[in-house]
């Protein structure tokens, strides 16, 4: 089996592939070498690949190198063209997601929106060229920033309640964060649709499924898009 690892800011996702099929996803809060070792033994892992949004510890790096895990960086061979002006600073999860989007819809322009700790907008044209995108705070980061940079605003827990306006402070904060994310998604959908056709819009990331309950239109939901991209990257790096 193949092990794909998406070490994000808030959690780590392990994707187990067999014959190009994602068989299982395991989620952990942190990247622990013993977790990887246990997975590799239990599932007879033959090859592995990792992209990291978090800093890897020296112990992590030593273990991954010992296992000959492919750690995606700006020099890794990829099956799309990276036209980003500063490839070294491009998040490798964004790059893997771009690969996953292109292989999902290879003949379309792809706009994929990752709603995680940060919210990223990523555009890949129908030539398989990653052209760039934008970065803004994710849902939790918006709420955390308001709590951190003010003296009296609380940090509410997100739920499935949304109204046009809040009748208490916690609901006002949640409304503001959710409406802000919705407005961004629908703005980019409108602007990119005016310029590119056919266009596929894909939502991914930890908050992609909850946010769909509040959207007015349907979108392609692929919560494991980064894992899919990592699997494709590994194929051309044998």
Q: What pLDDT digit, counting tens, does each position of 126-159 carry?
A: 999 999 999 999 999 999 999 999 999 999 998 8
Instruction: Count CB-CB contacts under 10 A for residue 48.
Output: 22
Q: Are residues 64 and 99 in the same domain?
A: no
237 domain-assigned: no
Kindly state whether residue 59 falls inside one of the protein's structural domains. Answer: yes
Confidence (pLDDT) at 185: 96
Q: Is residue 235 part of a domain?
A: no
The reply to whether 238 falls in a domain is no
In this prediction, residue 89 has a pLDDT band, given cuts at 50, 70 and 90, of very high
Regarding whether 196 and 169 lie in a shared domain, the answer is: yes
- The CATH code of the domain that includes 102 is 3.30.420.40
Tell me whether the omega of the peptide bond preceding residue 198 falls within 30 degrees of 0, making it cis: yes
Report the candidate in 54, 57, 45 with the shortest Cα–Cα distance to residue 234: 45
Neighbouring C-beta atoms of residue 206, cutoff 10 Å: 20
Which pLDDT does position 100 carry in this prediction? Answer: 98
Compute the mean pLDDT over every residue in the chain, rounded to the nearest whole number: 95
Q: Are strands 129-137 and 118-124 parallel, antiparallel or unpaired?
A: antiparallel
Domain that holds residue 41: 1-71
Say which DSSP state 77 is in.
-
Would you say residue 236 lies in a domain?
A: no
Distance CA 183, CA 179 (A): 6
Give the C-alpha separation, 157 to 154, whole Å.
10
Residues 191 and 85 occupy one common structural domain: yes
Cβ–Cβ under 8 Å, residues 52 and 92: yes
Domain boundary pick from 9, 38, 71: 71
Strand ranges (E), 61-105: 70-71, 81-82
CA distance 107 to 127: 8
Q: Is 19 designated active site?
A: no
Q: Which of 52, 71, 90 is the last residue of a domain?
A: 71
Rounded mean pLDDT, 35-50 = 95
Last-in-domain residue among 32, 48, 71: 71
Q: How many domains does the chain have?
A: 2
Identify whether residues 29 and 93 lie together within a single domain.
no
Res 160: pLDDT? 82
Do 52 and 139 lie in a common domain? no
Residues 169 and 60 in one domain: no
Residue 234 belongs to a domain: no
Q: pLDDT grade, residue 28 (50/70/90)?
A: very high
For the stretch 90-114, pLDDT in tens is: 999 999 999 999 999 999 999 999 9
pLDDT digits (tens, 9 = 90+) for 182-222: 999 999 999 999 999 999 999 999 888 888 888 878 899 99
**Catalytic annotation, pick one of 93, 159, 160, 168:** 93
Q: What is the pLDDT of residue 224?
A: 96
Mean pLDDT, residues 70-96: 96
Interaxial angle between packed helices 169-195 and 139-148, expressed in degrees from 0 to 180 and rounded to the nearest 10:
140
| CA atoms of 169 and 173, how far apart (whole Å) | 6
Shared-domain flag, residues 27 and 51: yes
Q: Are residues 8 and 119 in the same domain?
A: no
């Amino acid at each position: 089996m193949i092990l794909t690892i998406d070490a994000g800011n808030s959690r780590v996702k392990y994707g187990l592939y067999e014959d190009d099929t994602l068989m299982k996803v395991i989620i952990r809060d942190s990247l622990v070498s013993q977790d990887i070792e246990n997975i590799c033994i239990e599932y007879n892992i033959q090859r592995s690949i990792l992209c990291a949004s978090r800093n890897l510890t020296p112990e992590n790096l030593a273990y991954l190198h010992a296992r000959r895990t492919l750690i995606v960086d700006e020099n890794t061979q990829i099956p799309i063209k990276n036209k980003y002006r500063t490839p070294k600073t491009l998040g490798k999860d964004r790059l893997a997601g771009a690969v996953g989007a292109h292989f999902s819809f290879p003949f379309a322009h792809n706009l994929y929106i990752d709603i995680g700790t940060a919210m990223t907008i990523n555009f890949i044209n129908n030539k398989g060229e990653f052209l760039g995108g934008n970065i803004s705070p994710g849902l939790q980061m918006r709420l955390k920033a308001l709590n951190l940079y003010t003296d009296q605003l609380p940090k509410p827990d997100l739920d499935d309640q949304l109204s046009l306006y809040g009748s208490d402070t916690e609901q006002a904060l949640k409304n503001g964060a959710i409406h802000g994310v919705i407005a961004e998604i629908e703005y980019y959908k409108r602007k990119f649709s005016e310029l590119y056709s056919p266009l596929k819009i894909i939502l991914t990331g930890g908050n992609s499924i909850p946010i769909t309950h509040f959207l007015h239109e349907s979108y392609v939901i692929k919560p494991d898009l980064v894992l899919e991209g990592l699997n494709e990257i590994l194929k051309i790096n044998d």
